[in-house]
């Protein structure tokens, strides 16, 4: 007879490898025009080549690389906003702070980190106040237009505490 003990190893889930690009930038006509121009420039050689010279797999890979390179250059990666009042400038400052965090134990690095951190806090407060002011003015507009349903939805969004879903 024997005793047998089994230990199960936890397997790690693969990280998401798909790149998400900031597609909101394509709403700007200037960005859309430059994106289309760069894509067109990269696909011009593909259309000139005859169909019997290349196989479909190489065409697909060149297509995918061209689109992803152009999107990463012009659009940049999508950054999720956890709060609706956060602007792109604040997110850029947060990236800068993240880089300075590594150098915060050096004397000049600590001062720069503290300055950027205080700047982020100041801008976040100001952006939140502006956002709340916009929401309040939208509530007032809806009440003037007798659209009470939308007004009360906005009030509910502003006042209720968000709770995560339990699965």
pLDDT tens-digit readout, 21-77 = 888 888 888 988 988 888 888 777 666 665 555 677 887 888 888 888 888 888 888
Residue 31: exposure state from Cβ atoms within 10 A (0-12, 13-18, ≥19): middle
- The Cα–Cα gap between 45 and 61 comes to 14
Q: Of 91, 160, 151, which Cα lies nearest the Cα of 120? A: 91
- Quick one: pLDDT at residue 39? 84
Query: Residue ranges per domain, the chain?
Result: 23-74, 88-159
pTM of the model: 0.59
Q: DSSP secondary structure string, 27-40?
A: GSHHHHHHHHHHHH
Mean pLDDT of 92-104: 89
- Quick one: pLDDT at residue 46? 67
């Amino acid at each position: 007879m024997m005793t047998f003990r089994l230990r199960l190893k936890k397997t790690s889930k693969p990280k998401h490898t798909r790149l998400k690009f900031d597609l909101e930038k394509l709403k700007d006509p200037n960005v859309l025009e430059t994106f289309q121009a760069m894509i067109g420039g990269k696909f011009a050689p593909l259309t000139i080549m005859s169909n019997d010279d290349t196989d479909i797999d190489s065409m697909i890979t060149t297509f995918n690389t061209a689109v992803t390179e152009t999107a990463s250059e012009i659009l940049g990666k999508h950054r999720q906003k956890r709060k609706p009042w956060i602007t792109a400038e604040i997110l850029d400052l947060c990236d800068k702070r993240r880089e300075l965090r590594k150098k915060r134990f050096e004397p000049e690095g600590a001062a720069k980190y503290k300055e950027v951190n205080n700047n982020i806090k100041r801008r976040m407060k100001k952006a939140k106040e502006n956002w709340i002011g916009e929401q309040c003015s939208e509530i007032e507009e809806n009440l003037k237009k007798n659209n009470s349903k939308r007004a009360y939805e906005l009030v509910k969004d502003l006042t209720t505490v968000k709770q995560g879903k339990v699965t």
